Amino acid sequence: MLTPEQHARQLIDAQLQQAGWLVQDYKQVNLGAGPGIAVREYPTASGPADYALFVDRKMVGIVEAKREGTALTEVAEQTARYLTSATKHVQRIAEQLPFGYEANGHEIRFCDWRDPEPRSRPVFGFHRLDTLRTWMRQTATLRARLRELPVVQPEGLRDCQVEAIRNLDVSLKDDRPRALIQMATGSGKTFTAVSFVYRLIKHAGARRVLFLVDRGNLGRQTLQEFQQYTAPDDGRKFTELYNVQHLTSNQLDSVSKVTITTIQRLYSMLRGEAEYDAGNEERSGFELESAAPQRPKEVAYNPAVPPEAFDFVVIDECHRSIYNVWQQVLEYFDAHLIGLTATPAKQTFGFFNQNLVMEYSHERAVVDGVNVGSDIYHIETEITRQGSRVEKGAAVKMMERQTRRRRWEILDDELVYGASQLDRSVMSTNQIRTVLEEWKARLFTEMFPGRSIVPKTLIFAKNDTHAGEIVDLVREVFGKSNEFCKKITYSADEKSDELIKRFRNDFNPRVAVTVDMIATGTDIRPLECLLFLRDVRSRVYFDQMRGRGTRVISPTDLLQVTSDAPAKTRFVIVDAVGVTDSVKQETETQERTGALGFERLMHAVAMGNHDPAQLHSLAKRLARLDRQLTPDDRATIEAQTGGLSVQQLAGRLYDAVDPVQQELAAATVARQEGHGGEPTDAHWEEATRQLTETAVHLFDDPALRDLLTKVHAQKDLVIDLVSQDVVLRSGFGERTTPESAAAALAQQRVTQFQDFIERHKNEITALQLLHNQPYRRRQLTKTQVRQLADALRLENPQLTPEHLWDAYEQLERARVRGAGPRKLLTNLISLVRFALRQTDTLEAYPLTVDQRFQQWLGQQQQAGRLFSEEQQQWLTWMKNKVATDLSVEAEDFTLPPFADQGGYARAKAVFGDELPQVVEELNDVLAA
């Protein structure tokens, strides 16, 4: 049998051979056998090196081999010693060899000791000899060249783009392996990426850059960005200077500097597949998340696409599915990883090692005029809220999902369906028509008053069948032709790219209906309305969908497709399913229409109301106003402000409530006062006061307020809130806050839980025992509690002990004590008793058991029954078993922790003949 060391050597030999190295023993060395030789046990002044690497007969590096399971992090110093150790009768590339590896058969680490700050890093496999040969010829390493990047010039870039590139430069100079750039949708993430890719190729000598996109049509958009990019210091197009390949086959172009592909195709290539179906690239990763869970994609070394194939990997739209399913694909490459996203999730921050080099939010982008803000218009119908009931004997139409064949049937039983079933298992044509008719009725009176042309609108449907029904009804409700409304989904008959192009650039279609295809990433600037006929659980996905409407467009370009739209000042989200009221929403998307009017708001600020919410609201309204101003308006206002634009006024207001700006200002105040540590609360207060004073002092001028009021009156929209008798809710409304939404969800869960207990109190054994008084808990078994938990889960997947505990904690925090392990099944007992008002406090079941245990011990002591230290330890283990399983049984002594201490035999030795009595007492007292 091989020793661990020998087995590790076998694996390392194979890994070297995979990378193209010939592996030889020192006594049988033949440096003429090939250009790349790895020699085992090569003698040095410090002893034999495990492997010496030779390229073209010259020694270039060392591999330090360790047994399987050895942690390699601390081995680099040992490798460094061999790199400098003298050798006889051999040519060396340098006195200190540059390339050092550590390997244990399952992990490889590498360090280029020519780097400015040599630091070992994990690599998927050994580098190929061609790679080392290329690096040897370079006068400076990539990491050294990254330290010499020229200062980015702001010409042709937005301020946020300049900041992102400069911050990325700093991260790369510090050799941070991963960096995340978060920029709001529409702020130019892709243009920013093309800009820094150009810098990395030209100034850092990057050999190749991989650009990963979410799906196929985004790859085509990215290619257009590279084709249209003009080099700021050369004047030529990017693609005139460097080759860019958008992969449509599984063949890498060896001369391309930039390769654009989906991660799906990349995985196919790493697996060695010759072809890949392009249709599989059209699905967004957000859709993959909502499908059945996928196993992480595992990869193996592929010599056709070695780990060093790319110096940089840019990952566009880095939502969370990238980091659970595809993480190994990304980590295959020995490259800096740079993420781009508008909507980061927790997994995103974790994958990029919390290295957020740029944070540019939608809110900030609105104030800067880079995005437009949104208003939310709610439409709620009875069926949308609560479903419906169809009586027995009624005629309904049935449709086969696969063939779409329809037939009429008479109901044998009453059909009752809830809101969650709507458009999934049951479709109500009248519900869709009611929403669309209400939308049409309010479109030109409330949402876009004074307009007569339907604004470019994107409707989000639940599925393809739902989308098809919506398309038919939109055409019917508006009395328009097929060209007016189109379905853009994966199953649409017309080519999707052509439809998207027409939707973006032509008068028709005015309305597009989609499920997921253009929910993320697709750039359609003329969009002014998003109608949600589907709910979305993911905050990240919802923010992506909402982002389709945020993009700015020049008035001239907008007029070409919507001739009665003078300017895109905001977009409207028509929420017909409550998507904006769910707890997932974490960012404000609208100003509160129930707040002060524009004139009164300015007056309130002038009078000293500097509440952050008021300053924030005024900043958003000014940002909207700025987008509507004519050159004459701007000149008049700037004459009154002393040269400040409306956008600058908005920016100052936003800075006053922006925690990032407050922190920077607080640090400045602290330095001015000679304070060397972190800013104190007093520094924060002074910084906020200064920022607020700078932001509001101009509004003291009544002439400026009057001027802004007059200009605003000419430009702003007036919104009425009106409800129809066929609609439960219709109009603009105040956004539900995350806190209120969470409370509403918690109350809903508690109510469902209490209703369930009442309905099933005489059916489910656990509820019978818990409901009846006097209560005899010792009759309750873990199996019975599990049956109750299963019944609750079937009623609603959210009615689990941990979710119910969270709900009560949200609503009655003062009456909740402890939680213990949130998934602890026995906590359900405490929850039921609290719901039945048998206890005044919701206490974690283990806490209740522990209290009873301490009381029992005290009673035993008073009665003169004392326990030894070992007996008390066994009693504690038994108590813990009751807390988790409601009882201690004889078979439990064959399991940990009892079995680890000798099991039942040892317990019998510790307690003697009293053991059965002690166990019975604990079962009786602790669970009583």
**Mind listing the pLDDT tens digit for each residue in 334-366?**
999 999 988 777 777 878 888 999 988 888 888
Position 665 in a domain: yes
> What number is the average pLDDT over the span 409-421?
65
Position 247 in a domain: yes
| In the predicted structure, residue 582 carries a pLDDT above the cut 70 | no
pLDDT band at 713 (very low <50, low <70, confident <90, very high): low
Asked which of 32-36, 183-187, 246-250, 452-456 is least confident by mean pLDDT, the reply is 183-187
Answer with the one of 509, 542, 575 that is the final residue of a domain: 575
Asked which of 98-112, 338-352, 773-787 is least confident by mean pLDDT, the reply is 773-787
Asked if 830 and 842 count as a contact pair (C-beta separation under 8 A), the reply is yes
State the Cα angle at 891 between 886 and 896, rounded to 5°: 80
Position 160 in a domain: yes
Domain residues for the domain of 751 are 737-843
Asked which of 1-5, 101-105, 434-438, 468-472 is least confident by mean pLDDT, the reply is 1-5
Non-local CB neighbours of 620 within 8 Å, separated by 6+ positions: 366, 367, 373, 591, 650
> What number is the average pLDDT over the span 654-665?
83
* DSSP line for 93-162: SSSS-SEEEEE-SS-EEEEETTSSS---EEESSPPPHHHHHHHHH-SS-HHHHHTTPPPPP-TTS-HHHH
| In the predicted structure, residue 722 carries a pLDDT above the cut 60 | no
- HSE-CB of 885 using CA atoms within 13 angstroms: 11
How many domains does the chain fold into? 6
- HSE-CB of 694 using CA atoms within 13 angstroms: 19
Residues 477 and 558 in one domain: yes
Residues 174 and 284 in one domain: yes
Q: Which of 281-290, 737-746, 759-768 has the highest mean pLDDT?
A: 759-768
672 to 659, 666, 669, 685, 692: CA distances (angstroms):
20, 10, 5, 15, 19
> What number is the average pLDDT over the span 887-901?
83
Position 547 in a domain: yes
Give the pLDDT score at 529: 94
Residues 159 and 305 in one domain: yes
Cα–Cα distance, 499 to 506 (Å, whole number) = 10
**Regarding beta strands 570-575 and 336-341, do their DSSP bridges make them parallel or antiparallel, or are they unpaired?**
unpaired
711 residue type, one letter: V
Helix (H, G, I), strand (E, B) or coil at 246: strand
Residues 805 and 869 in one domain: no
Cα–Cα distance, 536 to 320 (Å, whole number) = 15
pLDDT digits (tens, 9 = 90+) for 474-504: 999 999 999 999 998 766 556 777 888 899 9
| In the predicted structure, residue 606 carries a pLDDT above the cut 90 | no
- Whichever domain contains 539, its CATH number is 3.40.50.300
* Higher pLDDT among residues 714 and 107, named by residue: 107
Residues 523 and 624 in one domain: no
Residues 213 and 262 in one domain: yes
> What number is the average pLDDT over the span 550-579?
90
Residues 563 and 606 in one domain: no
Position 690 in a domain: yes
Question: Which runs of E-coded beta strand occur in 188-279?
Answer: 209-213, 244-246, 258-262
Give the pLDDT score at 797: 63
Percentage of the chain lying above the pLDDT 70 cut: 83
Q: What's the pTM value of the predicted model, to 2 decimals?
A: 0.64
Q: Which of 199-203, 432-436, 919-923 has the highest mean pLDDT?
A: 199-203
Residues 186 and 264 in one domain: yes
Residues 199 and 319 in one domain: yes
Percentage of the chain lying above the pLDDT 90 cut: 34
pLDDT digits (tens, 9 = 90+) for 195-224: 999 999 999 999 999 999 877 778 888 999
Position 555 in a domain: yes
Position 586 in a domain: no
Residues 806 and 919 in one domain: no
State the Cα angle at 534 between 519 and 734, rounded to 5°: 95
| In the predicted structure, residue 273 carries a pLDDT above the cut 70 | yes
Give the pLDDT score at 308: 95
Answer with the one of 719, 752, 786 that is the final residue of a domain: 719
Give the pLDDT score at 720: 23
Tokens of 486: 């189109």
> What number is the average pLDDT over the span 175-182?
93
State the Cα angle at 215 between 274 and 217, rounded to 5°: 105
| In the predicted structure, residue 776 carries a pLDDT above the cut 80 | no
7 to 66, 107, 529, 532, 853: CA distances (angstroms):
10, 14, 63, 59, 53
Average pLDDT, the chain: 82
Non-local CB neighbours of 324 within 8 Å, separated by 6+ positions: 296, 347
Phi then psi for residue 228, to 5 deg, are -90, -10
Asked which of 145-154, 566-575, 713-722 is least confident by mean pLDDT, the reply is 713-722
Count of CB atoms within 10 A of residue 287's CB? 19
Position 418 in a domain: no
Asked if 542 and 581 count as a contact pair (C-beta separation under 8 A), the reply is no
Residues 95 and 113 in one domain: yes
Answer with the one of 77, 108, 138 that is the final residue of a domain: 138
288 to 282, 324, 344, 539, 548: CA distances (angstroms):
11, 11, 17, 16, 20
What residue has token string 């936003």?
A: 654
> What number is the average pLDDT over the span 376-381?
88
Residues 820 and 860 in one domain: no
Give the pLDDT score at 590: 36
